[in-house]
Structure 1
Amino acid sequence: MALPTETAFVSDAHLAGGYWTRNRGTILGVAALVVAIVIIPFVVSSSLMNVAVFAMIFALPAIGLSLLMGLAGQVSLGQAAFFAIGAYTHAILLTTFDLPGPVAAVIGVAGAMLVALLVGLPLMRLRGHFLALATLGLGFIVAIAVREWDFTGRTTGIYGIPRPEVFGIPISNNGYFFWFVSPFVIVGLVLAINLTRSRAGRALSAVNDSELAAESLGVNTYALRLKVFVLSAGFAGLGGVFYAYQVGIVSPQVAEFHLSVELLLMVVIGGLASVWGALAGAVLIELLGEGLRDLIPILIPGATGEVQLVGFGLVLILVILLLPGGLHQVVIGLWDAARKRLRRGRAAGDTGAAEVAASDEPVAQLPRVSSPVPRGETILEVSGLTKRYGGVVALDAVNLTVPAGEILGLIGPNGAGKTTCFNIISGALSPSSGTVTFLGQQIAGRKPHVSALRGLTRTFQNLQVFTSTDVVGNVYMGRYRLGKAGILRGMLGLQGTEQHANRRTASDILSSMRLTDAADVAAGSLPFGRQRMMEVCRALSSEPAVLLLDEPMAGLSGQERDMLADLLRALRDAGLTIVLVEHDVGQVMSLADSVAVLDDGVLIAHGKPEAVRNDPAVMVAYLGTDVKKAESELEELV
């Protein structure tokens, strides 16, 4: 499982309060960074100044890689390829076409992003080590191309790149260049942090926890990952632009595999969970690299750069083994320990306050419901739905019609095909044949986010919890399909109003299930029953037109079952359409307006609860007897 990102460092309480409350840590961190940037050129030696310059240059592709790995959960071994594309494009435009520096820089960054888009279209369909190997191959292709292409100067590279000027002032030394590149790093850092806390960032964090659950809430995971891949390449391309300026020559070395390893090490050693870690990792790795360059020839006479690469590899292994969370883990651990010591004296008072807050929980409020079709009209229709796994038929020509504003109970013995039917309706599975029509549109065989965006949401038999955030963060994610802010607005921080409104709605929905006291508790630490209730709240927060509940009462106490049943009745009365799979037949019969029964993938009964309860075929399915015996037993009961 991917490490949690900036969205999950602490509780989602940063959504509440004013601008200072939400961004206090970022503001203080950036202020401290600015002070350090101003002071460093005056207090460090020339050799350390050179290290500082390259640390800031490589911080840019490291920040991009941090977004890709820590946020999008995608491992890339080809970040050096985009770094090289930015550097070479910028250098060629400056030396061959004599374009102005800013124009050449913009084109260099755009070139890296365009290549990322073209290769990302197929690559982002891969997962895990397959993607890592594919990006590794991309890196080798770029490295070979720049080494063999006349236009890139082959092994000689491109040289004679002029130093930039700012307001007529030549950037002629490392101190000036450090000040020249640092503002871009600061802006990139702030934009990246904003993204991790945005609607898109929270969605990607949820995808890393449970891709299926995120898609069922309307997240187009492929498109979102592709956008972050392209954005990451843009950061790398910008780093390549500054590298070309600083070194004055761009050679095939910038595309070699060892640079991708260094960038990967920067992100890992800094901590995947933090964008700040990418900057810290860049500084540390540049210092370590300088040390290895001096130390390895002493330890191993005649050693070359390959031996230094082995040194980086050993450091990477040690970090993963001993400090999997990187520097971020250390900092957060120290900060948490300090906070505990500061609050130790107030522990008794805090406990009392928490008890009062729990006892004073607000009265339950009904989540907002809006039905797109009048009550009684068909909102969801299943026709001839069949699913085969080789010679096994999980569903066999199932036909169902779901009227709007009613509760349909779907029951049957274990293995009857109920969850398979749910998975096909929601898009998690494709049918072998048959159709699913929702609001007049065919949705069978399409991704879950397609139907979710139209208002069809579900829960899961096996809990799908977003463990990287808290309870209110889980419910907040249900609002995704109703949001508008994309990656650009998220990076610019232009979604405060939307986030506040969604936070309030999530809190209101939690109160409907008496979960207000657990709002800021880590979702993974809740008892099973309360996690189940939280998942129902998450589905309701998307304001669905149809709600699919897969065994929502499993693991609930008697009181919780009664509370959920009352809520479902109230939602039904308010116009919500509900399809309910549940093993508690008595509860289904008391809740549902109609009941459908599956047995071995075949629909054996569909009608009013009383009629289904007395259907001999249903008795056979549940009691394991034959039809004639079931009919005689029924006659005796009557």
Structure 2
Amino acid sequence: MAAQKNPIPLLGPAKRRNEIVGLVVLALAIVVLPFVASPSMLGIVVFAMIFALPAIGLNLLMGLAGQVSLGQAAFFAAGAYTHAILLTRYDVPGPLAAVAGVAVAMLLALLVGVPLLRLHGHYLALATLGLGFIVMILVRENDFTGRNTGIHGFSRPEVFGVSIDNNAFFLWFVAPAVLVALALAMNLTRSRTGRALSALNDSGIAAESLGVPTFRLRLGVFVLSGGLAGLGGVYYAYHVSLVSPAVAELHLSVEFLLMAVLGGLGSVWGALIGAVIVEWLGEGLRDLIPILIPGASGEVQLVGYGLALVLVILAMPGGVHQFLDSLWKRVRSTASRGRPATAQAAPADDDLADVELSVSTPVAPGEIVLEVRGLTKRYGGVVAVDDVSFDVRAGRIIGLIGPNGAGKTTCFNMISGALTPTAGEVRLFGQSIAGKHPHIAARLGLTRTFQNLQVFTSTDVRGNVYMGRYLRGRAGFVRGILGLQGHEQRRQLADADELLRAFGLDDVPQMAAGDLPFGRQRIMEVARALASEPAVLLLDEPMAGLTGAERDRLARLLRSLRTAGLTTILVEHDVGQVLSLADEVIVLDDGVVVSHGTPEHVRHDPAVIAAYLGDTATTEPASTDTVAPEAAAPEKVTIKKEAR
């Protein structure tokens, strides 16, 4: 999908107030609109409100979970047909039939989501496209659903004895559902679950390494999206008093997709804006083109409709909402021109701030926390890692070094769960984690950083570190939707702010994470990993791109964390830093362990000298200019040790 995704800033009191004000203004506009709008415009708005419900669901699915679906019409049809069948064939009361319609749509989403969400990208889009065709054929070829004729003969509902028999009343009838859907979607977007989904969309492997369960969360938002589509189908059936196979056709799924993309992915308001635009273009051009081109046929009108959509997408690739938001920010930036810019350079090399960092470990220092036995990875005839075995004890720093291509990162990936080993076993605190998803290891207390930066670009620096607190939160899907997690979120944000101060990032908390200089992105990634309070931390070249001052800062912090009980496995090309920091060093060459022992032993091991360090390394480290002195400045960071 070429459309851009809107970034999601962390929610503050001002933003929450703005959302509430927006909902109030929308409610007032809906009340007034029937008195000022023309009948044709009122009809457009009514259909836009109905179609906004599946569009909101699709926006959550695509904008948050990053899953493209072309089968939204299938859930729309499920809700509409269930509702109509219960009304006409079983004389079920309207409210109960409506609830059943939504429930059936959600059940269908659950049943198809379990197998389909194991697919990604265009594979998922094609699979959901097939789902739409299946539902359309079933309702078209089944007597129970009325075949091509569909189901009709049911009247519009009554509310408090008032028949909803015109567009004005129906607008007021559907509006509460749309307002509630908008509010719930906003809550989900800003919630712990919503931020985890957004992080998965940015970097699935990084999010999973922080404990985010990918499949479960994506399935949850898929089911919610299907339920909103089913609710839209219920209102559609009421409005037109007819349900035919047209409600399951591909063009309707494409319309829902256009609404989400045109409005702006990741923006709840964008779904509503997109629904209004698509409906206005469809109906408005039907009236306008015959005036511009007398005698124009329906095909010409469709061409005009398509051209208008293409022009809108080209002019606003991020959607209308993002365009308006960018315009507003530009106006504010112009008004505040002349103020000093936010600092981006690294802070001065002063002592670390006096903050508390927590380390959680279930074992005493010196006990084995990680066991690696016979770890092997083959790619066809190429052996990347061959029969690697070692133990890691609590409260120690283990250095993993070797020349380029030695298999260090491959080992990391197999230990953390990002890669399934061909053979071998990995046990963390006695539990097997080999071949399991990274979030399993994260929940047991192991997290990691990455050789190639994995930054959550959809949020700011503070939001990245806040995501590291995911496992320390408890608010789930339901609490997130209902907005019942304010206290927990404030506490987690306060913890994230402490880490920002500890790592010297408190001058750029609201800067887009992708705009940070490379070295500070490295620091942010380490801070994010430590935010989860791991017992075992895997650092894959954390000092790459850092200045000398930043390296010294990180080295002092790692020593303090070791004292507090944190176990660290460090892959680093700066051999001098590894030898000065590590308690043990493991040397890989061509995927095989060639040496394992103390830094002094490894420094003088002939096998290491021959394979990696070179003849000059027999007396000095390979990188003497970056070796952090053992007598470093006293560390000011206060470290808490907590039992898991």
Query: Do Structure 1 and Structure 2 share a fold, with TM-score over 0.5?
Result: yes
Q: How far apart are 1:329 and its partner, in Å? A: 2.3
Is this contact kept in 2: 1:620–1:630, CA < 8 A? Answer: no
Q: Which residue of 1 aligns with 2:313?
A: 320
Q: Which residue of 2 aligns with 1:139?
A: 132
Corresponding residue to 1:220 among 190, 213, 231: 213
Is this contact kept in 1: 2:344–2:517, CA < 8 A? Answer: no
Segment drifting more, 470-479 vs 328-337: 328-337
**1:576-635 Cα deviation digits (max 9, x unpaired):** 01010111111111101111111111111111111111111111111568xxx999999x
3-state SS in 2 of match to 1:94:
helix
Is this contact kept in 2: 1:4–1:273, CA < 8 A? Answer: no
Q: Which residue of 1 aligns with 2:380?
A: 390
**1:44-74 Cα deviation digits (max 9, x unpaired):** 1222221111111111111111111111111
Segment drifting more, 522-531 vs 616-625: 616-625
Is this contact kept in 2: 1:160–1:249, CA < 8 A? Answer: yes
Q: Which residue of 1 aligns with 2:597?
A: 607
**1:73-128 Cα deviation digits (max 9, x unpaired):** 11111111111110000000001000011110011001011111111111111111
Q: How far apart are 1:313 and its partner, in Å? A: 4.0
Matches within 5 A, 1:429-444: 429-444=419-434
Q: How far apart are 1:455 and its partner, in Å? A: 1.1
Corresponding residue to 2:469 among 479, 483, 504: 479
Corresponding residue to 1:542 among 523, 528, 532: 532
Q: How far apart are 1:337 and its partner, in Å? A: 2.2
Q: Which residue of 2 aligns with 1:275?
A: 268
Q: Which residue of 1 aligns with 2:509?
A: 519
**1:426-456 Cα deviation digits (max 9, x unpaired):** 0110001000000111000011111111110
Structure 1 residues 353 and 475, CA gap change in structure 2 (3 angstroms): closer
3-state SS in 2 of match to 1:597:
strand
3-state SS in 1 of match to 2:336:
helix
**1:340-384 Cα deviation digits (max 9, x unpaired):** 23323xx44x669999x9999982424211211111000001000
Structure 1 residues 253 and 420, CA gap change in structure 2 (3 angstroms): same
Distance 2:425 2:18 in 1: 51
Q: Which residue of 1 aligns with 2:21?
A: 28
Q: Which residue of 1 aligns with 2:624?
A: none
Q: Which amino acid aligns with 1:91?
A: A
Distance 2:415 2:432 in 1: 10
Corresponding residue to 2:451 among 429, 437, 461: 461
Is this contact kept in 2: 1:273–1:325, CA < 8 A? Answer: no
Q: Does 1:253 align with 2:246?
A: yes
**1:305-350 Cα deviation digits (max 9, x unpaired):** x765555444443333332111112211221122123323xx44x6
Q: How far apart are 1:223 and its partner, in Å? A: 1.4
Structure 1 residues 283 and 458, CA gap change in structure 2 (3 angstroms): same
Corresponding residue to 1:159 among 141, 149, 152: 152
Q: Which residue of 1 aligns with 2:223?
A: 230
Q: Which amino acid aligns with 2:409?
A: T
Structure 1 residues 117 and 560, CA gap change in structure 2 (3 angstroms): same
Q: Does 1:290 align with 2:283?
A: yes
Q: Does 1:89 align with 2:82?
A: yes
Q: How far apart are 1:3 and its partner, in Å? A: 6.9
Corresponding residue to 1:415 among 397, 402, 405: 405
Corresponding residue to 2:480 among 461, 483, 490: 490
Is this contact kept in 2: 1:2–1:70, CA < 8 A? Answer: no
Segment drifting more, 537-546 vs 290-299: 290-299
Matches within 5 A, 1:53-202: 53-202=46-195
Larger proportion of helix: 1
Is this contact kept in 1: 2:4–2:319, CA < 8 A? Answer: no
3-state SS in 1 of match to 2:136:
helix
Distance 2:590 2:166 in 1: 77
Q: Does 1:401 align with 2:391?
A: yes
Distance 2:164 2:579 in 1: 78
Q: Which residue of 2 aligns with 1:341?
A: 334
**1:477-503 Cα deviation digits (max 9, x unpaired):** 001122111121111110111111110
RMSD: 2.5
Structure 1 residues 632 and 278, CA gap change in structure 2 (3 angstroms): closer
3-state SS in 1 of match to 2:507:
helix
Is this contact kept in 2: 1:364–1:514, CA < 8 A? Answer: no
Corresponding residue to 1:263 among 228, 246, 256: 256
Q: Which amino acid aligns with 1:479?
A: R
Distance 1:3 1:151 in 2: 40
Segment drifting more, 569-578 vs 335-344: 335-344
Distance 1:223 1:30 in 2: 30
Distance 1:293 1:562 in 2: 68
3-state SS in 2 of match to 1:131:
helix
Distance 2:290 2:146 in 1: 31
Is this contact kept in 1: 2:586–2:596, CA < 8 A? Answer: yes
Q: Does 1:590 align with 2:580?
A: yes
Q: Which amino acid aligns with 1:283?
A: V
Q: Which amino acid aligns with 2:221?
A: V
**1:142-187 Cα deviation digits (max 9, x unpaired):** 1111111101000110001121111222212111111010011000
Structure 1 residues 632 and 544, CA gap change in structure 2 (3 angstroms): closer
Distance 1:633 1:164 in 2: 85
Q: Which amino acid aligns with 2:248?
A: A
Gaps of 5+ in 2: 622-644
Distance 1:600 1:441 in 2: 28
Distance 1:300 1:115 in 2: 46
Structure 1 residues 141 and 309, CA gap change in structure 2 (3 angstroms): farther
Q: Which residue of 2 aligns with 1:242?
A: 235
Q: Which residue of 1 aligns with 2:556?
A: 566
Is this contact kept in 2: 1:381–1:438, CA < 8 A? Answer: yes
3-state SS in 2 of match to 1:561:
helix
Q: Does 1:41 align with 2:34?
A: yes
Structure 1 residues 428 and 495, CA gap change in structure 2 (3 angstroms): same
3-state SS in 2 of match to 1:518:
coil
Structure 1 residues 534 and 576, CA gap change in structure 2 (3 angstroms): same
Distance 1:487 1:142 in 2: 28
Structure 1 residues 431 and 354, CA gap change in structure 2 (3 angstroms): closer
Q: Which amino acid aligns with 2:76?
A: F
Is this contact kept in 1: 2:62–2:266, CA < 8 A? Answer: no
Is this contact kept in 1: 2:352–2:553, CA < 8 A? Answer: no
Q: Which residue of 2 aligns with 1:210?
A: 203
Q: Which amino acid aligns with 1:215?
A: E
Distance 2:617 2:169 in 1: 90
Is this contact kept in 1: 2:407–2:591, CA < 8 A? Answer: yes
Distance 2:417 2:308 in 1: 44
Identity, in percent, stands at 66
TM (norm. structure 2) is 0.92
Q: Which amino acid aligns with 1:81?
A: A
Structure 1 residues 354 and 258, CA gap change in structure 2 (3 angstroms): closer
Distance 1:52 1:353 in 2: 46
